Amino acid sequence: MSAHPTIRLKSREGRRAIAGAPWIFSNEIEMDARTRSLAPGTLVNVVRADGNDLGTGYFNPKSLIAVRLLDPVADAEIGDAFFASHLARALSRRAALFPEHFYRLVHAEGDGLPGLTIDRFNMTFVVQITTAGMEALIEPMFGALDDVASPECVILRNDAPSRALEGLDSYVRAARGEIPDRMTVHENGVRYFADAASGQKTGWYFDQRDNRAFIAALAKGQRVLDCHSYTGGFGLLAAHAGATHVTCLDSSAPALALASAAAEANGVGGKVKFTKADVFDELERLAATNATFDIVIADPPPFVKSRKDLEAGARAYRKLARLAASVTAANGYLLLASCSHNMPHDRFLAECAIGIARAGRRASILRDAGAGPDHPVHPMLPETAYLKALVFVLD
């Protein structure tokens, strides 16, 4: 007898999953009354229309992504041993990449653990769960994390808006230890501060690590404008790398306060200025005064939150590219980023190119990159390659 209830694919449906992708959509399965009545997060066996097994996953009748596969074997036991082996593998892959324990430890499907994100700040771990299936597995997951990494502190940032799509509530709590006032991040030789409880996402964006290093390599002797600076990721590294002057621009006062404290801690406080303003307004104001910067970074929040926002979001990226290009000096560098997974790479590049041209500038692309290797991409899930970061040099 099978331990998990069975979900059956409709005939000729689920091609992506059969080819190796981990998602099965609700329109691809036989949704009878028994299936519909399964509790969100139930572990299931998935079988193809021809009766062959597709493996073990978790199911949510409320979600468009009805099943996320966890194991290619049917009736797999998803418990401590499953999580211990996945977490140990994720840990050894990061250990091979980074000298210190500051990285994204688990990047959901990219690490075979759909619905789970874990960012590691030395012995403090910030966990985000975005699916009912992973929420139901929280105890074995924490048990394995204790065994594999011995955390001093584990913070659950279960306040992502996408949880509502899975019927999950929103909360933040310490699962181990106590939530610290602020965390320290070591990255690229700089010390930053992050707020685990109320900062954005998990408090820090590890994804831009390599893009920050690329900009820093160009920064010596340059004047830098870091738009959407958040807690100073790009700007403080550029200052540390020898920029003569850096402006960190953001609309968030708490983020700028952490950036300012970190500038002092790194001994670069004297050459970094902090401006709390709307980026669009401030770029227009700067352009009107003919101000220029040798390096401009624009790393905005996602402008395309769902597919229906694509056209409005595309216009916003184009406008940001135009305004940012208008304050970039001759022979200066411009980094434009998008973290919207609903914004395809080629469309983003086209919008950036048009925006720069509309500022009356010509440009070449020096770097076309994504997130760092602690954000592994599932090769059959383009959605996991959400970050686009283009570096242009302008004539």
Regarding 284 and contact with ligand SAH (CB under 6 A), the answer is no
Q: Which is nearer to ligand SAH, 16 or 367 (CB)?
A: 367
Furthest-apart CA pair in the chain: how many Å?
Answer: 75
Among 300, 370, 372, 376, binds ligand SAH (CB under 6 A): 300
Phi-psi region of 360 (alpha: psi -120 to 50; beta: other; left: phi over 0): left
- State both tokens at 265: 């801690």
**Chain residue at closest Cβ approach to ligand SAH:** 233
Q: Is 339 a catalytic residue?
A: yes
CB of 293 to ligand SAH, least distance (A): 15
Q: Which is nearer to ligand SAH, 281 or 383 (CB)?
A: 281
Q: Which is nearer to ligand SAH, 110 or 232 (CB)?
A: 232
Q: Which is nearer to ligand SAH, 230 or 333 (CB)?
A: 230
- The footprint of ligand SAH on this chain (CB under 6 A) covers a number of residues equal to 17
Q: Which is nearer to ligand SAH, 128 or 229 (CB)?
A: 229
Q: Which is nearer to ligand SAH, 131 or 247 (CB)?
A: 247
CB of 209 to ligand SAH, least distance (A): 9
Cα–Cα distance measured from residue 356 to residue 347, given in angstroms and rounded to the nearest whole number: 14
Asked if 64 and 31 count as a contact pair (C-beta separation under 8 A), the reply is: no
Torsion of CA 174, 178, 180, 185, to 10 degrees: -70
Closest CA to 35 of 70, 64, 61: 61
CB of 56 to ligand SAH, least distance (A): 36
CB of 230 to ligand SAH, least distance (A): 4
Regarding 102 and contact with ligand SAH (CB under 6 A), the answer is no
CB of 273 to ligand SAH, least distance (A): 15
18 in helix, strand or coil?
Answer: helix
Cα–Cα distance measured from residue 82 to residue 71, given in angstroms and rounded to the nearest whole number: 9
CB of 219 to ligand SAH, least distance (A): 14
- Choose the stretch contacting ligand SAH; rule: CB under 6 A; options: 93-101, 228-236, 374-382, 384-392: 228-236
Torsion of CA 335, 341, 347, 348, to 10 degrees: -10
Cα–Cα distance measured from residue 237 to residue 247, given in angstroms and rounded to the nearest whole number: 12
- Choose the stretch contacting ligand SAH; rule: CB under 6 A; options: 11-19, 90-98, 294-302, 318-326: 294-302
Q: Would you tell me how many other CB atoms lie within 10 Å of the CB of residue 363?
A: 22
Regarding 233 and contact with ligand SAH (CB under 6 A), the answer is yes
Cα–Cα distance measured from residue 134 to residue 119, given in angstroms and rounded to the nearest whole number: 16
Asked if 196 and 186 count as a contact pair (C-beta separation under 8 A), the reply is: no
Report how far apart, in Å, the C-alpha atoms of 145 and of each of 80, 100, 266, 347, 375 are.
Answer: 9, 18, 32, 39, 19
Instruction: Write out the binding residues for ligand SAH, residues 244-273 only, by CB under 6 A.
Output: 250-252, 255
Binding footprint of ligand SAH on the chain (CB under 6 A): 200, 205, 208, 228-230, 233-234, 250-252, 255, 278-279, 299-301
Active site residues: 339
